[in-house]
Amino acid sequence: MSATAHEHDAGHAPDHGKRDFLKLVAASGAAVGVGAIAWPLIDSMNPSSDVLAISSAEFDIGSIPAGQGITVVWRGKPVFVRHRTAEEIKTAASVKPGDLLDPATDASRVKAGHEQWLVVLGICTHLGCIPLGNKTTDARGDFGGYFCPCHGSQYDVSGRVRHGPAPANLPVPPYAFLSDNRIKIG
């Protein structure tokens, strides 16, 4: 997000009102505001299409409030980055893999030491719709993660499918933490 503030400042007189508003939006956890700020920044970071297929991309995620998520674009695909609450982490870890449609532990789907972050492809494994769930005001289904409105599939806060017709969990893309607040996908 610092890049966004910098861009706003470049070539213009300081606009403290706007900056204060941005801080207020981030602090209030207003999902719409966070999304609206994130998209232009992400779009400007996208490489040209000729290098898209081989590229990786870095994203600052530190301003995402707990309980919220954003969508970033990697190789032309939506990727959900979700800042999970302590309660959500506890709930996700307590699920027995054997009870799941596509068995997987929560630990196998997040990075050790960064369990508050879930990073998954935002593409329903049924027929490819983009599920809802980034915003606290979104329908998240009965398991608190993501809900696909196309045919009703539900995913939990680990991105694991809990109710079909989707047959599989949301895939975890290759990614790494460059710092506590910055990830590199790809």
Q: How far is the CB of 78 from ligand FES (least distance, A)?
A: 13
Residues paired with 107 in a beta bridge? none
Q: How far is the CB of 154 from ligand FES (least distance, A)?
A: 9
CA distance readout (Å), 74 to 53, 54, 100:
9, 10, 28
Nearer to ligand FES, 155 or 175 (CB): 155
Q: Which two tokens stand for residue 51?
A: 């290098």
Find the catalytic residue in 6, 8, 151, 163. Answer: 151
User: Is residue 131 a contact partner of residue 157, using CB atoms and an 8 Å limit?
Assistant: no
Sign of the Cα pseudo-torsion (95, 159, 2, 179, in order) = positive
Q: How far is the CB of 30 from ligand FES (least distance, A)?
A: 27
Active-site residue 151, yes or no? yes
d(CA 12, CA 66): 33
Determine which helix (DSSP H) or strand (DSSP E) holds 160, and give its type and residue range: none
Nearer to ligand FES, 61 or 170 (CB): 170
Nearer to ligand FES, 31 or 148 (CB): 148
- Provide the binding-site residues for ligand FES, judged by CB under 6 A: 124, 126-129, 148, 150-153, 165-166
Q: Which residues are catalytic?
A: 151
